[in-house]
Structure 1
Amino acid sequence: MRKPLLALSVLAGVVVTAAAPAAAAPTDSTVVTFAIGTANLEIFAPHSVNLGSTFAGTPIQGAIGPVQVVDARAALTATWVATVSSTEFSTGTGSAAETIPPALIEYWSGPLVSSTGSGTFVPGQPTQADAVTLSVPRTAFSKTSGSGNNSATWNPTIRVNVPATVVAGTYSATVTHSVA
């Protein structure tokens, strides 16, 4: 009777061997990285604009043309503020110069004309009723929330309240838009 017991033991050994898990293959991991580059925060405005002509004591106004902020910083918090300021309008030179101070220059950004990216874009002065003087730098436009690359374009208007006491001539000033 020993033969059947031996055969049963051999068969059980085969079954046990077949049921054992296979050895796992060796593994290794690779960490893969890449970088997202950043660019600049820039602002673009027309190089010059001619408002036309008027008479002493009569205001003159017109659109400056499209002003655009391009934010290519790819920032997690992509907020910015664009400001506007102006020099005095002047004509002539030296002691013969005639000026119109920035306190007589009004500005309003108007609404957003176009935008890209996500977030909240806020006009500084959405309507003519919101116009501000440029006696001090003013907020022209801002982006208060959002992330990633974005852009905003607006078409501001400027009004010069020409005093009745100015002399005839061609007046010029520099209106500066900046962004930070």
Structure 2
Amino acid sequence: MPLVGAAALVAATAVFAAPAQAATCAEATTCPTTVTFTITAGELEITVPDTVDLGSGAAGTVITGPLGPVTVDDGRATLDATWEATVIAATGGWTTGAGTPAETVPNTAVDYWSGDSTAETGDGTFVAGQPLAGDAVAIDTEQTAFSKTDGDGPNSATWNPTLVVNVPATAVAGIYTGTVNHSVA
């Protein structure tokens, strides 16, 4: 009597789910089985702090503070596991109130320096974009924050960059808000 419905499905599944049979080998001979497996690739991701308060200072002074840990996590598991993390300030600068010229600190007045890494995993060469305070760059244009120039397999790097705000002498008092954008490719 032919199988119908769920019984037919179970029988078909059992037939197709069975592993392939190895060749039959004579006594005292090697009988090979080919074994495969897959190592999956992850993503190339960057993690940044949500918010940071750099503190305060008067017009015409410099306000400096750490941005907080920035981490690139490369789970791609590739032979050429290189990447470059970049940083740029969002258009519009840092503003308070209505954002008039006196209520704006332009992006050209904000410098960034990555410092060296605070943690690294994996092999290869990790390169700080601005290892020393004297290497700080304005982030009105895209800058290299950190990179990995060689090596393979999964890896990660973390750094704690510093922002240096050169407050214009004509800036008015207020809480200024702006955005720093990191990306990795």
Work out whether the TM-score is over 0.5.
yes
Give a deviation string over 1:3-34, Cα, whole Å, max 9, x none: xxxxxxxxxxxxxxxxxxxxx93876432211
Of the three residues 167, 170, 184, the one matched with 1:165 is 170
1:19-168 → structure 2 map (5 Å cutoff)? 25=26, 29-87=32-90, 88-93=93-98, 98-168=103-173
1:14 corresponds in structure 2 to: none
1:176 corresponds in structure 2 to: 181
Partner SS for 2:35: coil
Which structure has the bigger radius of gyration? 1
Contact 1:90 / 1:97 at 8 angstroms: preserved in 2? no
Q: Distance in 2 between matches of 1:53 and 1:120?
A: 37
Quote the offset at 1:59 in angstroms: 1.0
Quote the offset at 1:177 in angstroms: 1.0
Q: Distance in 2 between matches of 1:101 and 1:36?
A: 47
Paired residue type of 2:148: K
Give a deviation string over 1:58-92, Cα, whole Å, max 9, x none: 11010001111000111111000000011210111
Q: Distance in 1 between matches of 2:167 and 2:102?
A: 15
Give the stretch that moved more between structures: 86-95 or 73-82.
86-95
Q: Distance in 1 between matches of 2:72 and 2:100?
A: 39
Give the stretch that moved more between structures: 49-58 or 96-105.
96-105
Unmatched runs of 5 consecutive residues or more in structure 2: 1-24
Paired residue type of 2:158: T
Paired residue type of 2:164: R
Quote the offset at 1:45 in angstroms: 1.1
Q: TM-score, normalising length from structure 1?
A: 0.82
Contact 2:64 / 2:165 at 8 angstroms: preserved in 1? yes
Q: Distance in 1 between matches of 2:173 and 2:44?
A: 41
State, as a whole percentage, how many aligned pairs show the same letter. Answer: 57
Partner SS for 1:129: helix
Q: 1:150 to 1:98 in 2, by over 3 A?
A: same
Contact 2:121 / 2:155 at 8 angstroms: preserved in 1? yes
| Count of residues paired in the alignment | 157
